[in-house]
Structure 1
Amino acid sequence: MRNRLIQICILSFFLGIASERTFAKQKPTDKNTYRVQAGDSWWGIAKKLGTTPKELAAINGRTEKEGLYQNELLRTGGNTTASKSEAQKTAPKSKPNSPLPGYEKIAKPYSELTYDPHKGVRYSRENSGWVRAALPGKVVHIDYMDGYENYIILEHENGWYSVYGNLERVQVTEGQTLVAKERLGTLIKDKGLYFQVNHNKSAINPSLFLQQGS
Structure 2
Amino acid sequence: MQKSILVSVSLIGSFLFVLSIHGREKDEKKAGTYRVQAGDSWYSTARKFNLDPKTLASWNGRTVSDALYVDETIRVKSLGPSSEELKEKKPPGKPNFPLSQRESIKHPFSDTSHIPHKGVEFTKLNPGYVRSTLPGKVINIDYMDGYDNFVILEHQNGWYSVYGNLERVYVNEGQNVEAKQRLGSISKNKGLYFQVNQNKSAVNPIQFFQIGSS
TM-score for the superposition, normalised by structure 1: 0.71
1:9 aligned onto 2:7:
yes
CA gap of 1:193–1:49, structure 2 versus 1, over 3 A, is same
Q: In the alignment, is the contact (CA less than 8 A) between 1:160 and 1:198 conserved in 2? A: yes
> How much does 1:7 deviate?
4.5
Equivalent position of 1:48 in the other structure:
48
Query: 1:36·1:74 contact (CA, 8 Å) conserved in 2?
Result: no
Distance 2:81 2:143 in 1: 37
Taking structure 1 as reference, are residues 44 and 164 closer, same or farther at Cα in structure 2, changes over 3 Å only?
same
| Large movers: runs of 4+ above 4 Å | 28-39, 67-74, 76-79
The AA in structure 2 aligned to 1:111 is S
User: What does residue 78 of structure 2 align with?
Assistant: 75
Q: 1:115: how far off? A: 2.2
Instruction: State the alpha-carbon separation in 2 of the partners of residues 36 and 170 from structure 1.
Output: 48
TM-score, with normalisation over the residues of structure 2?
0.71
Paired amino acid for 1:40: W
Query: Root-mean-square deviation (CA), in Å?
Result: 3.6
Q: Which runs of 5+ in 2 are unaligned?
A: 17-26, 69-73
Other-structure match for 1:205: 204
Amino acid at match of 1:163: V
User: 1:128-159, CA deviations, whole angstroms, 9 ceiling, x for partnerless residues?
Assistant: 42111011101111111111101000000011
Equivalent in the alignment of 2:112:
113
Seen in structure 2, the aligned counterparts of structure 1 residues 91 and 126 have a Cα distance that, compared at 3 Å, is same
Cα deviation for residue 199 of structure 1 reads 1.3
CA distance in 2 between counterparts of 1:197 and 1:154 reads 10
| Max Rg structure | 2
In the other structure, the counterpart of 2:21 is none
SS in 2 for 1:172: coil
What is the identity, as a one-letter code, of the residue corresponding to 2:188?
K
Counterpart mapping for 1:56-67 below 5 A: none
Q: Tell me the equivalent position of 1:147.
A: 146
Q: What per-residue deviation string (whole Å, max 9, x for no partner) do you get for residues 80-105 of structure 1?
A: xxx83x53441113121111121111
Percent identical pairs in the alignment equals 45
